[in-house]
Amino acid sequence: MGVIRNGTLLVACLSNSAGFPDFSNGGTGDPISPPRMFMTTKNFRFKSLAFQSQSGRCYYCDLPMWQDHPEHFALQFGITLPQSKQFQCTAEHLLARQDGGPTSRSNIVAACLFCNQKRHQRKIALNPVKHKEHVKKRLFVQRWHPVLSAKLNAEVRKTMGG
């Protein structure tokens, strides 16, 4: 870990987080299980490959994600550091591990932390196709990554020059 030099930026971001759920402690009141802290090397490698092949976009919500530098991501898209946590790239097992899904390249896609957690919060996780449909519907009515989805999409369009 390097030293974070731009301390003022982080302070500014953290103090600007009012009104948004803090996913580190389940600020929405939903029981959110902690992210998988101990990724295997295999997980990590397949996640990175998936991240690249998906052009850094989430498998479910299609919004951009970050792998290593949340502070850069927050700065780039004009969001706070706590908000950027939702967009951390995670390894998503299409067939869940508890259902015998292997940690293999074909079974792992890159998904943002939010979409990943939401899928597995259900008693029985929706299959990936159903979950994707669910996410798209919620996005359409701005009930998924609210505010941020519009902001990020606008930002992405700008950087793509379209």
Which residues in this chain contact Zn ion in the complex, by CB under 5 A? 58, 60-61, 112, 115
- Side-chain half-sphere CA neighbours of 98 within 13 A: 4
Contacts for 139 with CB less than 8 Å, ≥ 6 apart: 61, 145, 149
Contacts for 150 with CB less than 8 Å, ≥ 6 apart: 142
Least distance from Zn ion to the Cβ atom of residue 111, Å: 6
Q: Which is nearer to Zn ion, 18 or 129 (CB)?
A: 129
Q: Which is nearer to Zn ion, 12 or 122 (CB)?
A: 122
Least distance from Zn ion to the Cβ atom of residue 145, Å: 7
**Burial status of residue 2 (CB atoms within 10 A of its CB: 0-12, 13-18, 19 or more):** exposed
Contacts for 95 with CB less than 8 Å, ≥ 6 apart: 101, 102, 107
Least distance from Zn ion to the Cβ atom of residue 20, Å: 16
Contacts for 130 with CB less than 8 Å, ≥ 6 apart: none
Q: Which is nearer to Zn ion, 81 or 115 (CB)?
A: 115
Q: Which is nearer to Zn ion, 13 or 111 (CB)?
A: 111
Least distance from Zn ion to the Cβ atom of residue 69, Å: 18
- Measure the CA–CA gap between 49 and 42, rounded to whole angstroms: 11
Least distance from Zn ion to the Cβ atom of residue 18, Å: 23
Sign of CA dihedral 132, 135, 141, 142: negative
Q: Which is nearer to Zn ion, 12 or 136 (CB)?
A: 136
